[in-house]
Structures are given as structure tokens and as C-alpha cells.
Structure 1
């Protein structure tokens, strides 16, 4: 087709030449309203070619998640696939890319590459300049982005989907302040220090503990960096140097290693232990009365909300509130309300 013809259709429809090309060659990713405009313009000028029917192809959505092997991200991968399957292949084609959290440059490069062929992006990422630049490029290309789990406050994004991480930390602090029933230190085990969610959880936990249990000595945070061997080594050393441990709060992965070290030091079931996410390990710890509380992020709701908000924007132009529309409710599990 001659470029002049494409330009004429684009001018009448009020869109770009690239959009006309996508509609006429059925490349997908164009809203029904825009598709109708392009086809109407093509008929008006008597375009001599077989025109496609007025339906859109499946939206091409890319989901970027961590490959850290934690139960939470394994659940997210599964739930995203389930939600996409429920919607059907005619409405959405879901692509998933797992990237190591220690490789922000690789994540940024992948985002840039995928944004050239995707209609929308859902991303879990950390506070690194390359990631912010990649999301700004998505914005310039007209590709909406939804951040998930941990927020990127300065990013060019449509909205954020997740729990209030600071509130989650404060909730853990409130629970700890009420259940610690013996003298001793309170230990904090955290994941990657570049993970905003971990920093927010620790900040909230520390703030409430200082307000409600100022007599408790909070030890320095043990940053396990989401590395199981590191978590084991740091905690073993800290427990060996602590004469009295009354409580332990773990913000991230590694509950197998944490419980192993607590058992080794004869503290499992004796000190107040609070952590995040309900999965096989924490489920059993709760059953055994070795874990007091598990604060769960509800991975399934993350997947449903992220896809729903992105599709509503692509199909109807809906502009969600940055935080309120994507807010996920924190779930609290004890031995008495296990699923």
C-alpha cells in the first residue's frame, strides 16, 4: 500500500500512520473505537483492499516478575496465568519474563525491548535509574505501565497494585508489642535493602515498637539479601551472641532458614515469631504453634487487579487513582484461621 494512502486514512481518522498499519494488517493492540475510525476512513476514500472485521486482536501484555524462587512470586506467576486463562486468548495474550532483582539493567533493557511490541506492561522492579528511564520510555511510546508489589513513586506509571507495605510493618509491630511476654531482644530479619517494600516494613515495625514497647531492645536489622545461606549465617551468628531473644520479625523470604536457626538455638515456639506470606512452610509453622502470625499479601488479588486495571485503561480509557484503585487488603493468618 502506498504511503500516501496510509497518510490519507490516518489524517481522516485522526491517528498515526503506525496505528493505521496495525489496524489494516490486523496486528492487534488497537482499541475498538480507534479501529472503527480507521476502517470508516478507509471506506470513505474507497480503499481498494479487503478490510478486516471490526474486532480487535488480543491485547499483548507483558508481566515482569522476580525469579528469586520465593513462594510469593511462584504464586504470582501461577495466578497471572489463571486470570489470563479465564479472560480467554481472544481478549489477552499474557507474556511473562522473570528477571533477577540484582540485575536492574537487564530488567530495564527487557522493558525497553518489550515495549515496542506490547500494549501494556506490569512490572515488579526496584529503585534504580535504568528502570525509571525504561518506564519513562514506555510512557513516551504510549504503553501504560502498572507497578506491582513494591512501588516506584517517581516512575511514569498508570497506577500501583499492592498492599500498604508501611502499614504491614506497623501491623507486625503492633502484634509483636502485644504478644511478647518475656524479657529479651527483638530481632529483625529483612531482604534486599534496595527493595522499598522491605524498608517500609522495617520502618513501620520499628516505629510502632518504639512507641508501644520502648523497653524492648531492637537489634540491628539483619539484611539477608534474599539469599538463604546469608540468612542462615547472619541469624546463627546473631542468636549465638544474644543471651535473651523474645521476638523475631522476618520481612521477607527464608522462613525455612529462620525456623531452622531458631530450632537450633532452642527458641522455635518459645520466642514470638512473625513473618509474611502464607505458604507450605508458614502454614506448617502455624499449625505447630511455632509461628504466631503470617501477614499475607494475597498474590491472587495482585494478579486480578493489575490485569483488570490495565485492560479497563486500554479498552475504555479508564484512568485509575494511582494508589486507591490498586490497593490490596492485607490478610492476617493464625493457627485458627488457616485456609
Structure 2
């Protein structure tokens, strides 16, 4: 083994040559996370020798999810826990951390700190410069990061796992155009208009409806900031002002409040489209209040992202940034609920 190669491994792992020697010759006395770093660096450096079996040290993966309390993120957290239980502690040690989306600096600091302790990171974050900087920090340290649900174009992420959010919006627009053939107003409600997933969904919906249904009039987007009282106030005012509401598309949450207002205004024939299949939307579909819901499939997000990360850590697999992490959108009606 050439000394220059050992030096390169030490530099990549950020440790001394003595530590590299202890790990490669299995002398012990090295923390598991440091063992991981050295073995990962050895593979990266193309070290031509049989490396120690690192399966005795479970892969340490941290998952950062939103703490906003919506069903989707609660379900995601549960799905990741089930995956960790199924793989077992000898295979993976998974840490789930819930972080408020604002301020983004808080998440950025947690990502950087995690890069010192974990073998890989899965993160739901938004398109802020400080988050891009955190992912660049991870990239420079050789820690793979998978973005989840909401992509960060141009960031140094390993790959992205999620649905095509723009396509989801276009799908909603297509469904609206096929369902409503008479002229009228269509209302768009967005959870957070500064978050890329909502921006892309609304843009897709607007584009599809403009192209396919010129007889439908799109009103200005109601940006409720994920605040129930604000969404209620904005929607109530709009419903009172509009002459003939025939459709409503909600890119976010708060479907209980939205459906209640539609019922108060006796808009029973309104084509109402939203996202995710959970207890509220399931009931609204059964009642006939909700026309369609577009489900992201939380389970697939957890399974695909964990699988891609472990394959990379174990074999060096390099996925396509979008294709390998693509999650299929499911259109759910009252007739095909699982």
C-alpha cells in the first residue's frame, strides 16, 4: 500500500494517518462514525486492498422533516421509523429530526452539524441560499444528501426523491378542465407561496387550465401562509365577491376549513381538488364534497430515499438525480380509495 494513498485517504476523511491505519487494520479504538468516514474515503480514493467489513457498524442516517404538523409529514416520520425497524439496528441507525421551516438558518445549522456525525442525510428543505450552502458543506465533506418532496435545483444534492410538483399541478388543471364544461370562476388556494412545491403546483395548474379550459376564469391565488384563520378569511371574502364559482384547487392543507366554507355557500356542484389521502380528504371524498385528491405516497418517499442512500453507501451507486427518485402521483376518487 503506497503511503501517498494513505495520505489521500486521511485527507478525504479529515483524520490522521494513524487513525487510517487503525481502521484498515482493525485495531479498534475508533468511533463508529470515524470508521465510516475512513472506509468511505478509502473507496473514494480507490484503495486497492480488501477493506474491513463495516456492516458491524450500522449506517447512521439523519432525516430532517417539517414540524408543521400536517398529515403528510406525520406519515413520513412514521414510514421512516417502520423502515428502520424492518432493516434492524445492525443495518441502519436512523435519526428523525423535525424542524420548523422558518427561519431556514436553523435547519442549515442542523444539516452542517449532522454532516459531522452521520453517513448520509435526507432532508426536506426550501430554496434558500443558506440551505444551498449547507448542502455544499456536506458535499465537500463527502456526505450524500437526498432532497425530499421539494427539490433544490442547482444545490449540491446527491439526488431528489419526490413527485414532479409542476406535473401534479397540471394534472389538477386537466381534471378541472374535464370536469367543468360551463363558464365560471376557479379559485386557487396556496399554503405557502414562497415554497417551491406550492409555486410549482400553482404554476402547473394555471398553465394547464389556461391552455385547456379558456371558458374558466382563474382568480388571483389566495396565499394563506398555512395559517387557518388567514385562509378562512381570504376564502370567505373571495366567495362573497365571486359571482359563479365552479372550481377550487387547494395546493396545501386546511381542507376542513375550505370544505366547510364551500358548504356554507351551498357550492355543492363545485369541482374541488386538493392533495393527499388522509382521514379528512377520505371523508370529503365519501361525502361527495371533494372531487379528487392527488396523493404523493408518503411510503414511497421513505422507501426510495432510504434504499438509494444505503445502495450508495454500500456499493457507491450513483443514481440519476431525478429518475431514480421519482415517485408516482396517484389520482384518488371516491371510487378507488384504498
Post-superposition CA distance 1:309-338 (Å, at most 9, x none): 011111110000000000000011100011
Post-superposition CA distance 1:227-285 (Å, at most 9, x none): 11111111111111112100000001111111111112111x32000000000000000
Shift of 1:21: 7.9
SS at the partner of 1:192?
Answer: coil
Query: How many corresponding residue pairs?
Result: 319
Are the equivalent residues in 1 in contact too, given 2:201–2:251 (CA < 8 A)?
yes
* CA distance in 1 between partners of 2:327 and 2:66 (Å): 19
Whether 2:12 is the aligned partner of 1:15: answer no
Are the equivalent residues in 2 in contact too, given 1:27–1:57 (CA < 8 A)?
no
Whether 2:111 is the aligned partner of 1:120: answer no
Match of 1:34 in 2: 39
Match of 1:100 in 2: 100
Whether 2:223 is the aligned partner of 1:219: answer no
* CA distance in 2 between partners of 1:10 and 1:232 (Å): 66
Moved more, 242-251 or 11-20: 11-20
Whether 2:278 is the aligned partner of 1:279: answer yes
SS at the partner of 1:15?
Answer: helix
* CA distance in 2 between partners of 1:84 and 1:58 (Å): 11
Match of 2:307 in 1: 308
User: Structure 2 vs 1, CA of residues 220 and 99 (structure 1 numbering), >3 Å: closer, same or farther?
Assistant: same
* CA distance in 2 between partners of 1:176 and 1:331 (Å): 16
Shift of 1:213: 0.6
Whether 2:71 is the aligned partner of 1:71: answer yes
Post-superposition CA distance 1:155-194 (Å, at most 9, x none): 1110000001111111000000010144320000011112
Are the equivalent residues in 2 in contact too, given 1:186–1:248 (CA < 8 A)?
yes
Extract structure 1 runs of 4+ deviating beyond 6 A.
Answer: none
Whether 2:234 is the aligned partner of 1:230: answer no
Instruction: Let me know the Cα RMSD of the aligned residues.
Output: 2.4
Match of 1:331 in 2: 330
Post-superposition CA distance 1:18-48 (Å, at most 9, x none): 563883335224569938x79xxxxx9xxxx
Whether 2:206 is the aligned partner of 1:206: answer yes
Shift of 1:215: 1.5
Gaps of 5+ in 2: 44-48
Are the equivalent residues in 1 in contact too, given 2:296–2:329 (CA < 8 A)?
yes
Are the equivalent residues in 2 in contact too, given 1:249–1:274 (CA < 8 A)?
yes
* CA distance in 1 between partners of 2:250 and 2:22 (Å): 49
* CA distance in 1 between partners of 2:242 and 2:181 (Å): 17
* CA distance in 1 between partners of 2:62 and 2:116 (Å): 11
Match of 1:3 in 2: none
User: Structure 2 vs 1, CA of residues 26 and 304 (structure 1 numbering), >3 Å: closer, same or farther?
Assistant: farther
Match of 2:250 in 1: 250
Q: TM-score, normalised by structure 1?
A: 0.88
Match of 2:133 in 1: 133
* CA distance in 2 between partners of 1:218 and 1:159 (Å): 35
Q: TM-score, normalised by structure 2?
A: 0.88
User: Structure 2 vs 1, CA of residues 236 and 89 (structure 1 numbering), >3 Å: closer, same or farther?
Assistant: same
Match of 1:262 in 2: 262
Shift of 1:114: 1.4
* CA distance in 2 between partners of 1:96 and 1:78 (Å): 10
User: Structure 2 vs 1, CA of residues 73 and 214 (structure 1 numbering), >3 Å: closer, same or farther?
Assistant: same
* CA distance in 2 between partners of 1:71 and 1:330 (Å): 17
Shift of 1:224: 1.1
SS at the partner of 1:324?
Answer: coil
Moved more, 166-175 or 225-234: 225-234
Shift of 1:54: 5.9
